[in-house]
Structure 1
């Protein structure tokens, strides 16, 4: 079941995020305040997937897209942020259903950014029709200790 996230879900979201971080190193660096990381300042809405009382997935809709989209003047309905699915809940289409929730709520094209180290996520987005329009360097470091390379995508 996918439903809007509430404040009461945040502890369960942090637990799910810890499972994802252990498996995939997402986020690359564990945040000092994971509840705050899940609720960035530009968050318009967020949804959770729940199965058997546990959060198995999460996605957020940010009000603004990444800088490359803004500088190119690409009109957006917002940006996908904080998308993750716990390892046991993968391969059943849950990430695609979470993205559908964001797409409907946004009412327009979406942007997202993903580290070049997240090869499974990149393959997923490209399989689902997202197209890369730019790449930039992040302010945070990748696993090699260098500024991460971020790929910027637009929804279809």
Structure 2
């Protein structure tokens, strides 16, 4: 298993992996009409994929935001979980940024929250999103900073 910079040729495979994540975890909450475009948000500096045998198993991006460098579009395909991919992808982003990075996660993402806290990320605040959670309410977002 390896991690490398994402190329435009990876986008279809990333969208396929994202569809599996969406079916398992409802991430993203609303399936985007253009998943390849969703994987390339405004402010994206770079993105990486975790892959094995030519298959994309995970994805992460580094975005430039007014608050600072931020993790974006992090996911690991359900069949590849438990193999250390998410920590490896997060470390890749942190190393590339050269400074602590931020991320936000929905309160509903309990497994993700547990992972971040286990890795030493610190919750710095919470806020309400402009999008709705599964209950149809503005999602509660927790904001974290890397160690």
State TM-score, norm by structure 1.
Answer: 0.92
1:98 correspondence with 2:89: yes
Gaps of 5+ in 1: 71-75
1:16 aligns with 2:17: yes
1:11-90 matches, within 5 Å, as 11-64=12-65, 70=67, 76=68, 78-90=69-81
Secondary structure of the corresponding residue to residue 56 of structure 1? strand
Per-residue deviation at 1:33? Answer: 1.0
- Cα displacement (A) at 1:88: 0.9
CA offsets 1:74-103 (integer angstroms, 9 cap, x no match): xx4x10000000011110111001111101
Q: Distance in 2 between matches of 1:90 and 1:35?
A: 22
Report the Cα offset of residue 115 of structure 1. 0.2
CA RMSD of aligned residues (A): 0.8
| Count of paired positions | 146
Greater strand content? 2
| Matches of 1:124 and 1:28, distance apart in 2 | 20
Deviation at 1:142, TM superposition (A): 0.3
Is the partner of 1:63 in helix, strand or coil? strand
- Please tell me whether residue 140 in structure 1 is matched to residue 141 in structure 2: no
What's the CA shift for 1:149?
Answer: 0.3
Match of 2:115 among 108, 124, 140: 124
Report deviation, 1:13: 0.2
What is the deviation of 1:51? 1.0
Partners of 2:81 and 2:43 lie apart in 1 by: 27
2:131 and 2:113 mapped to 1: Cα distance?
A: 19
4+ runs deviating over 6 angstroms:
none
Deviation of 1:63 (Å): 1.2
